[in-house]
Amino acid sequence: MIISEIVSLPAERISLACVLIIILALTTWRADLRLARPLLIASVRLIIQLSLVGLILEYVFEINNLLLVVLIALAMLLVAGREVSVMQKYRVSGRWSYGIGTCSMFVSSFAVSIFGLAAIIRAESWWDPRYSIPVLGMLLGNTMTAIALSLDRFTTYVWEGRETIEAKLMLGHSSQEALKMILRDSLRAGLMPVINSMAIAGIVSLPGMMTGQILAGNSPVDAVRYQIVIWLLIAVGCGFGSMLVVQMASKRVFDERERLRTDRIYKV
Protein backbone atom coordinates (compact mmCIF):
# COMPACT_ATOMS: atom_id res chain seq x y z
CA MET A 1 0.00 0.00 0.00
CA ILE A 2 1.49 3.31 -1.10
CA ILE A 3 0.69 6.03 1.42
CA SER A 4 2.10 9.03 -0.43
CA GLU A 5 4.32 9.88 -3.37
CA ILE A 6 8.02 9.59 -2.56
CA VAL A 7 10.04 12.82 -2.33
CA SER A 8 12.54 12.59 -5.18
CA LEU A 9 16.15 13.66 -4.47
CA PRO A 10 17.66 16.05 -7.01
CA ALA A 11 21.44 16.07 -7.51
CA GLU A 12 22.02 19.40 -5.80
CA ARG A 13 20.53 18.08 -2.57
CA ILE A 14 22.67 14.93 -2.73
CA SER A 15 25.66 17.20 -3.08
CA LEU A 16 24.83 18.63 0.36
CA ALA A 17 25.74 15.23 1.81
CA CYS A 18 28.93 15.34 -0.24
CA VAL A 19 29.81 18.70 1.30
CA LEU A 20 29.62 17.06 4.75
CA ILE A 21 32.00 14.33 3.58
CA ILE A 22 34.43 16.93 2.27
CA ILE A 23 34.30 18.75 5.62
CA LEU A 24 35.03 15.46 7.40
CA ALA A 25 37.91 14.74 5.00
CA LEU A 26 39.39 18.19 5.61
CA THR A 27 39.10 17.77 9.36
CA THR A 28 40.85 14.38 9.34
CA TRP A 29 43.51 15.79 7.00
CA ARG A 30 44.20 18.69 9.38
CA ALA A 31 44.51 16.24 12.26
CA ASP A 32 46.92 14.07 10.21
CA LEU A 33 44.79 10.96 10.65
CA ARG A 34 45.54 9.73 7.12
CA LEU A 35 41.90 8.96 6.55
CA ALA A 36 41.04 11.68 4.05
CA ARG A 37 42.24 9.76 0.97
CA PRO A 38 40.49 6.43 1.64
CA LEU A 39 37.38 8.30 2.76
CA LEU A 40 37.18 10.32 -0.45
CA ILE A 41 38.00 7.34 -2.68
CA ALA A 42 35.31 5.27 -0.97
CA SER A 43 32.77 8.06 -1.33
CA VAL A 44 33.49 8.49 -5.04
CA ARG A 45 33.31 4.70 -5.55
CA LEU A 46 30.01 4.59 -3.68
CA ILE A 47 28.50 7.28 -5.87
CA ILE A 48 29.75 5.81 -9.16
CA GLN A 49 28.94 2.17 -8.32
CA LEU A 50 25.46 2.85 -7.01
CA SER A 51 24.61 5.20 -9.86
CA LEU A 52 25.63 2.51 -12.34
CA VAL A 53 23.65 -0.13 -10.47
CA GLY A 54 20.64 2.19 -10.50
CA LEU A 55 20.86 2.54 -14.28
CA ILE A 56 21.41 -1.19 -14.79
CA LEU A 57 18.53 -2.15 -12.53
CA GLU A 58 16.20 0.25 -14.29
CA TYR A 59 17.11 -1.44 -17.57
CA VAL A 60 16.78 -4.95 -16.11
CA PHE A 61 13.39 -4.23 -14.60
CA GLU A 62 12.19 -2.88 -17.93
CA ILE A 63 13.39 -5.86 -20.01
CA ASN A 64 12.21 -8.39 -17.38
CA ASN A 65 14.14 -11.33 -18.84
CA LEU A 66 14.97 -14.51 -16.88
CA LEU A 67 18.29 -15.09 -18.64
CA LEU A 68 19.48 -11.59 -17.80
CA VAL A 69 18.49 -12.08 -14.14
CA VAL A 70 20.43 -15.37 -14.04
CA LEU A 71 23.50 -13.74 -15.57
CA ILE A 72 23.45 -10.88 -13.07
CA ALA A 73 22.92 -13.31 -10.20
CA LEU A 74 25.88 -15.43 -11.33
CA ALA A 75 28.10 -12.39 -11.60
CA MET A 76 27.10 -11.34 -8.07
CA LEU A 77 27.82 -14.86 -6.79
CA LEU A 78 31.28 -15.05 -8.38
CA VAL A 79 32.29 -11.69 -6.97
CA ALA A 80 31.01 -12.69 -3.50
CA GLY A 81 32.89 -16.04 -3.69
CA ARG A 82 36.09 -14.23 -4.56
CA GLU A 83 35.50 -11.77 -1.75
CA VAL A 84 35.21 -14.65 0.76
CA SER A 85 38.55 -16.10 -0.28
CA VAL A 86 40.25 -12.68 -0.38
CA MET A 87 39.16 -11.91 3.19
CA GLN A 88 41.17 -14.86 4.61
CA LYS A 89 44.40 -14.44 6.56
CA TYR A 90 45.27 -18.10 6.09
CA ARG A 91 44.09 -19.62 2.84
CA VAL A 92 43.47 -23.17 1.77
CA SER A 93 45.81 -23.84 -1.11
CA GLY A 94 44.91 -24.30 -4.76
CA ARG A 95 41.63 -23.69 -6.49
CA TRP A 96 39.87 -24.99 -3.38
CA SER A 97 40.17 -21.63 -1.71
CA TYR A 98 37.90 -20.01 -4.28
CA GLY A 99 35.70 -23.09 -4.72
CA ILE A 100 34.95 -23.46 -1.02
CA GLY A 101 33.82 -19.84 -0.70
CA THR A 102 31.78 -19.79 -3.89
CA CYS A 103 30.12 -23.13 -3.23
CA SER A 104 28.97 -22.11 0.25
CA MET A 105 27.81 -18.74 -1.02
CA PHE A 106 25.78 -20.60 -3.62
CA VAL A 107 24.03 -22.70 -1.01
CA SER A 108 23.60 -19.91 1.49
CA SER A 109 22.33 -17.30 -0.94
CA PHE A 110 21.04 -18.91 -4.12
CA ALA A 111 19.18 -21.81 -2.63
CA VAL A 112 17.75 -19.74 0.20
CA SER A 113 16.80 -16.83 -2.12
CA ILE A 114 15.00 -19.14 -4.52
CA PHE A 115 13.08 -20.68 -1.65
CA GLY A 116 12.19 -17.24 -0.29
CA LEU A 117 11.09 -15.93 -3.69
CA ALA A 118 9.15 -18.98 -4.82
CA ALA A 119 7.62 -20.16 -1.55
CA ILE A 120 7.27 -17.05 0.60
CA ILE A 121 7.16 -13.87 -1.48
CA ARG A 122 5.41 -15.52 -4.48
CA ALA A 123 5.52 -12.63 -6.93
CA GLU A 124 3.68 -13.24 -10.21
CA SER A 125 6.82 -14.76 -11.71
CA TRP A 126 9.11 -15.81 -8.87
CA TRP A 127 12.23 -14.50 -10.59
CA ASP A 128 10.74 -11.02 -11.16
CA PRO A 129 13.94 -8.92 -11.01
CA ARG A 130 12.22 -6.29 -8.85
CA TYR A 131 12.14 -8.91 -6.08
CA SER A 132 14.83 -11.43 -6.95
CA ILE A 133 17.79 -9.08 -7.35
CA PRO A 134 17.32 -7.10 -4.11
CA VAL A 135 16.63 -10.32 -2.14
CA LEU A 136 19.68 -12.07 -3.55
CA GLY A 137 21.75 -8.96 -2.97
CA MET A 138 20.71 -8.73 0.67
CA LEU A 139 21.45 -12.40 1.22
CA LEU A 140 24.80 -12.36 -0.56
CA GLY A 141 25.94 -9.25 1.28
CA ASN A 142 25.01 -10.52 4.71
CA THR A 143 25.96 -14.19 4.39
CA MET A 144 29.28 -13.29 2.81
CA THR A 145 30.48 -11.73 6.04
CA ALA A 146 29.38 -14.68 8.17
CA ILE A 147 30.91 -17.25 5.82
CA ALA A 148 34.16 -15.33 5.45
CA LEU A 149 34.39 -14.92 9.22
CA SER A 150 33.72 -18.60 9.95
CA LEU A 151 36.27 -19.73 7.38
CA ASP A 152 38.85 -17.22 8.57
CA ARG A 153 38.47 -18.36 12.18
CA PHE A 154 38.58 -21.99 11.15
CA THR A 155 41.83 -21.80 9.18
CA THR A 156 43.42 -19.53 11.80
CA TYR A 157 42.48 -21.87 14.68
CA VAL A 158 43.69 -24.91 12.73
CA TRP A 159 47.00 -23.24 11.95
CA GLU A 160 47.57 -21.94 15.46
CA GLY A 161 46.32 -25.13 17.11
CA ARG A 162 48.05 -27.58 14.76
CA GLU A 163 50.17 -29.13 17.50
CA THR A 164 47.15 -29.73 19.72
CA ILE A 165 45.22 -31.24 16.80
CA GLU A 166 48.12 -33.62 16.14
CA ALA A 167 48.34 -34.50 19.84
CA LYS A 168 44.71 -35.61 19.62
CA LEU A 169 45.36 -37.56 16.43
CA MET A 170 48.25 -39.35 18.19
CA LEU A 171 45.80 -40.57 20.80
CA GLY A 172 43.64 -42.07 18.06
CA HIS A 173 41.07 -39.28 17.74
CA SER A 174 39.39 -38.98 14.34
CA SER A 175 39.79 -35.75 12.39
CA GLN A 176 36.25 -34.73 13.32
CA GLU A 177 36.89 -35.36 17.03
CA ALA A 178 40.16 -33.46 16.86
CA LEU A 179 38.40 -30.50 15.23
CA LYS A 180 35.27 -30.47 17.35
CA MET A 181 36.12 -27.44 19.48
CA ILE A 182 37.52 -25.53 16.50
CA LEU A 183 34.40 -26.20 14.44
CA ARG A 184 32.20 -24.96 17.25
CA ASP A 185 34.25 -21.83 17.88
CA SER A 186 34.53 -20.85 14.22
CA LEU A 187 30.81 -21.31 13.62
CA ARG A 188 30.02 -19.24 16.70
CA ALA A 189 32.32 -16.49 15.47
CA GLY A 190 30.55 -16.42 12.10
CA LEU A 191 26.98 -16.58 13.39
CA MET A 192 27.00 -14.50 16.57
CA PRO A 193 26.92 -11.12 14.72
CA VAL A 194 23.77 -12.20 12.82
CA ILE A 195 22.15 -13.60 15.95
CA ASN A 196 22.97 -10.40 17.86
CA SER A 197 21.59 -8.14 15.14
CA MET A 198 18.36 -10.15 15.03
CA ALA A 199 18.03 -9.86 18.77
CA ILE A 200 18.29 -6.06 18.78
CA ALA A 201 16.44 -5.40 15.50
CA GLY A 202 13.92 -2.61 15.85
CA ILE A 203 15.11 -1.64 19.32
CA VAL A 204 18.54 -0.20 18.73
CA SER A 205 18.48 0.10 14.95
CA LEU A 206 15.95 0.05 12.16
CA PRO A 207 17.10 -2.41 9.50
CA GLY A 208 18.10 -0.88 6.17
CA MET A 209 15.63 -2.60 3.93
CA MET A 210 12.71 -1.71 6.15
CA THR A 211 13.87 1.88 6.39
CA GLY A 212 14.07 1.98 2.61
CA GLN A 213 10.55 0.70 2.18
CA ILE A 214 9.15 3.14 4.71
CA LEU A 215 10.99 6.03 3.03
CA ALA A 216 9.56 4.83 -0.29
CA GLY A 217 6.11 5.32 1.18
CA ASN A 218 5.12 1.76 2.06
CA SER A 219 3.22 1.02 5.22
CA PRO A 220 5.52 0.15 8.15
CA VAL A 221 3.55 -3.05 8.76
CA ASP A 222 4.28 -4.33 5.23
CA ALA A 223 7.89 -3.19 5.51
CA VAL A 224 8.27 -5.09 8.78
CA ARG A 225 6.89 -8.30 7.25
CA TYR A 226 9.41 -8.18 4.45
CA GLN A 227 12.18 -7.39 6.88
CA ILE A 228 11.29 -10.34 9.13
CA VAL A 229 11.32 -12.75 6.20
CA ILE A 230 14.58 -11.38 4.84
CA TRP A 231 16.29 -11.57 8.17
CA LEU A 232 15.18 -15.11 8.88
CA LEU A 233 16.42 -16.09 5.42
CA ILE A 234 19.73 -14.34 6.13
CA ALA A 235 20.11 -16.29 9.37
CA VAL A 236 19.36 -19.57 7.55
CA GLY A 237 21.81 -18.69 4.78
CA CYS A 238 24.54 -17.71 7.24
CA GLY A 239 24.01 -20.89 9.28
CA PHE A 240 24.03 -23.42 6.47
CA GLY A 241 26.63 -21.50 4.49
CA SER A 242 29.03 -21.32 7.44
CA MET A 243 28.51 -24.98 8.32
CA LEU A 244 29.18 -25.95 4.74
CA VAL A 245 32.27 -23.78 4.40
CA VAL A 246 33.96 -25.14 7.54
CA GLN A 247 32.99 -28.72 6.63
CA MET A 248 34.53 -28.33 3.19
CA ALA A 249 37.62 -26.68 4.62
CA SER A 250 37.98 -29.40 7.26
CA LYS A 251 37.85 -32.07 4.53
CA ARG A 252 40.64 -30.21 2.77
CA VAL A 253 42.99 -29.83 5.73
CA PHE A 254 42.97 -33.59 6.35
CA ASP A 255 43.81 -36.28 3.83
CA GLU A 256 42.35 -39.76 3.34
CA ARG A 257 44.51 -41.14 6.20
CA GLU A 258 43.16 -38.35 8.41
CA ARG A 259 46.57 -36.73 8.63
CA LEU A 260 46.60 -32.99 9.30
CA ARG A 261 47.90 -31.35 6.12
CA THR A 262 49.16 -27.95 7.21
CA ASP A 263 50.98 -27.82 3.87
CA ARG A 264 47.56 -27.12 2.37
CA ILE A 265 47.16 -23.92 4.39
CA TYR A 266 49.27 -20.90 3.63
CA LYS A 267 49.50 -17.45 5.13
CA VAL A 268 48.67 -14.55 2.87
Partner 1 sequence: MLKVDQLQFLDWHALSLDVNSGHCLGLMGRSGSGKTLLLRAIADLDVNEGKVSLNGLFRDDVSGPEWRKKVGLLTSESKWWHESVGQHFKSSALKLLIDLGFPDESVLSWKISRLSSGEKQRLALARLLSSSPDALLLDEPTANLDSDSVSLVENVIHRYREEHSVPVIWVAHDVLQLNRVSDIKMCMNEKKLDEDV
Summarize as ranges the residues that interact with partner 1 (CB under 8 A): 163-164, 166-175, 181, 255, 257-261
Which residue, 170 or 199, is less far from partner 1 as judged by CB?
Answer: 170
Work out how close the CB of 265 gets to partner 1 at its nearest, in angstroms, rounded to a whole number: 15
Q: Which residue's CB is nearer to partner 1, number 28 or number 262?
A: 262
Q: 236 vs 264, which CB is nearer to partner 1?
A: 264
Smallest distance, partner 1 to C-beta of residue 255, A: 8
> What's the closest the beta carbon of residue 2 comes to partner 1, in angstroms?
59
At its nearest, how many Å lie between partner 1 and the CB of residue 243?
Answer: 22
Q: Which residues contact 210 (CB under 8 A, 6 or more apart)?
A: 220, 223, 224, 226, 227
CB of 180 to partner 1, least distance (A): 10
- Of 169 and 229, the one with the shorter C-beta distance to partner 1 is 169
In this complex, which beta carbon is closest to partner 1, that of residue 30 or of residue 257? 257
Contact partners, residue 98, CB within 8 Å, separation at least 6: 81, 82, 85
